[in-house]
């Protein structure tokens, strides 16, 4: 059997001479450790604890399970592990499943760095993948970070830029809302700039903002097109609104959410952000 990172975390504690309740160590792990003389059982009240024997447990774990570095392997959670980490800690890049495309896509227009290296300017039709294992090294120094709901508007943001005078004369970076796992949420909470969200202007899009964005950035603002009511009237789709009307977050106290909810209800129409790519508006 293979060890999981959670099991490795317990063994890491044992390797430091600490104890763990016997009930928390599965028999399939405990028996080899006992047979190898890497742990001992100690009476604790009416039950037992497992105590590691410093100096013996790490070498046994490497011999039996191939784990070279228990501490590092214990940190190999899905959001942060990669093949290089697994090769270093377990000697096998396939020791645990990895998702090499997990991360966030960004478009940089300057003032973005990965470690000390500037990311430069990302041309239209492309984006940069920052993997979850590299997110802690991402530094964004622009005034605004704009979360984009759909990929087409990320690639072609230049075509919708005219709708947002708020961005005139300021530095901003674009980020695709695609896979916002725990590592990204932690990064976003710690980022000190202003966060804007470019949603779909329909009930589901507003619901996503309320339930998936605001819990992690309570100060986030919605990016609303200039002359939105006119655009909604001319380009909005009534079937889209009616299909999603039940998802409208009418109880939200967020000022901009309330504003858009009122606009959608008055027009009884909705608009996906890709409609802003049209030259009609």
Provide mean pLDDT across the span 195-222: 94
Nearest partner of 77 among 1, 8, 130, 25, judged by Cα: 8
Provide mean pLDDT across the span 136-145: 95
CB 199 within 8 A of CB 273: yes
State pTM to two decimals. Answer: 0.68
241 and 171 fall within a common domain? yes
113 and 244 fall within a common domain? yes
32 and 112 fall within a common domain? no
- What is the rounded average pLDDT for all residues in the chain? 88
CA distance 222 to 214: 10
User: Based on the structure, what is the number of domains in the chain?
Assistant: 2
156 and 114 fall within a common domain? yes
What pLDDT shows up at residue 263? 97
When comparing pLDDT for 88 and 262, which is higher?
Answer: 262
Domain assignment present for residue 95? The answer is no
Domain assignment present for residue 207? The answer is yes
Q: Choose the final residue of a domain: 56, 90, 124.
A: 90
pLDDT band at residue 207 using 50, 70 and 90 as cut-offs? very high
Residue 281: pLDDT over 60: no
Residue 100: pLDDT over 60: no
pLDDT band at residue 280 using 50, 70 and 90 as cut-offs? very low
User: Any idea what the CATH number is for the domain that residue 135 is in?
Assistant: 3.40.1360.10
Provide mean pLDDT across the span 5-24: 89
Spell out the alpha helix ranges (H) of 25-179.
27-35, 57-65, 70-74, 83-90, 151-155, 157-160
CB 170 within 8 A of CB 143: yes
pLDDT tens, residue by residue, 157-193:
999 999 999 999 999 999 997 666 788 888 999 999 9
84 and 107 fall within a common domain? no
Question: 108: domain range?
Answer: 103-277
14 and 48 fall within a common domain? yes
User: Which DSSP symbol is given to 4?
Assistant: P
148 and 73 fall within a common domain? no
CA distance 48 to 257: 56
What pLDDT shows up at residue 183? 82
What pLDDT shows up at residue 279? 58
pLDDT tens, residue by residue, 17-48:
889 899 998 999 999 899 999 999 998 888 89
69 and 132 fall within a common domain? no
> Tokens representing 261?
């909810």
Provide mean pLDDT across the span 201-216: 93
For residue 269, what are the CA distances in angstroms to 92, 144, 149, 230?
54, 29, 19, 12
Domain assignment present for residue 257? The answer is yes
Provide mean pLDDT across the span 227-234: 95
CA distance 63 to 67: 8
pLDDT tens, residue by residue, 58-74:
898 888 888 888 888 88
109 and 82 fall within a common domain? no
132 and 65 fall within a common domain? no
Bridge partners of 138? 114
């Amino acid at each position: 059997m293979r060890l999981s990172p959670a099991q490795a975390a317990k063994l890491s504690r044992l390797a430091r001479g600490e104890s763990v309740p016997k009930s928390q160590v599965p028999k399939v792990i405990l028996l080899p450790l006992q047979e190898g003389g890497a742990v001992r059982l100690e009476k604790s009240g009416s039950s037992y604890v497992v105590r590691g024997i410093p100096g013996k447990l790490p070498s046994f774990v490497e011999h039996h399970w191939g784990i070279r570095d228990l501490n590092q392997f214990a940190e190999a959670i899905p959001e942060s592990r990669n093949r290089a980490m697994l090769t270093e800690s377990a000697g096998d890049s396939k020791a645990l499943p990895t998702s090499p495309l997990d991360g966030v896509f960004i478009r940089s227009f300057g003032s973005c760095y990965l470690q000390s290296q500037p990311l430069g300017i990302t041309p239209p039709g492309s984006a940069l993948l920052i993997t979850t294992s590299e997110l802690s090294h991402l530094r964004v120094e622009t005034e605004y970070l704009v979360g984009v709901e759909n990929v087409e508007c990320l690639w072609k943001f230049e075509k919708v830029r005219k709708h947002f005078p708020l961005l005139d004369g300021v530095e901003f970076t674009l980020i695709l809302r695609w896979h916002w796992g725990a590592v990204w949420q932690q990064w976003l909470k710690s980022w000190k700039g202003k966060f804007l969200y470019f949603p779909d202007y329909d009930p589901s899009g507003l619901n996503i903002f309320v339930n998936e964005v605001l819990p992690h950035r309570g100060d986030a603002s919605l990016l609303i097109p200039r002359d939105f009511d006119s655009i909604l009237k001319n380009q909005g789709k009534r079937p889209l609104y009616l299909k999603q009307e039940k998802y409208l977050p009418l109880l939200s106290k967020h000022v901009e959410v309330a504003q858009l909810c009122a606009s959608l209800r008055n027009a009884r129409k909705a608009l996906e952000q890709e409609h802003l790519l049209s030259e009609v508006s």
